[in-house]
Amino acid sequence: MLDFITRLFGQQKQSRETAKERLRLVLIHDRASISPSVMGELKEELIAVISRYMEIDEDAIEINLSDVEDSVALVANIPVKNLKRTAQA
């Protein structure tokens, strides 16, 4: 019984944290005035440029906006598979 209660309340905390994080991201995007379509275009262009120099895992790329000391920062996590010897046009 105690295990059930612990899981129940633990899950609420996790859901609350998830909702809090989503709200924070929505507020950051609103503050930066960037629409989801613009973020999509930005991601595509970053992939195109970086792909000229490196092999990357396009499915694992994460690009977000983050609130840093009263400003907005672009945070990109781009897994690199391999470096290319020469840039491709």
Cα separations in angstroms, 73 against 11, 18, 38, 57: 30, 21, 15, 22
At 2-19, the pLDDT tens digits run 555 555 555 555 677 878
At 45-83, the pLDDT tens digits run 999 999 999 999 999 998 887 777 777 788 899 999 998
d(CA 62, CA 42) in angstroms, rounded, equals 12
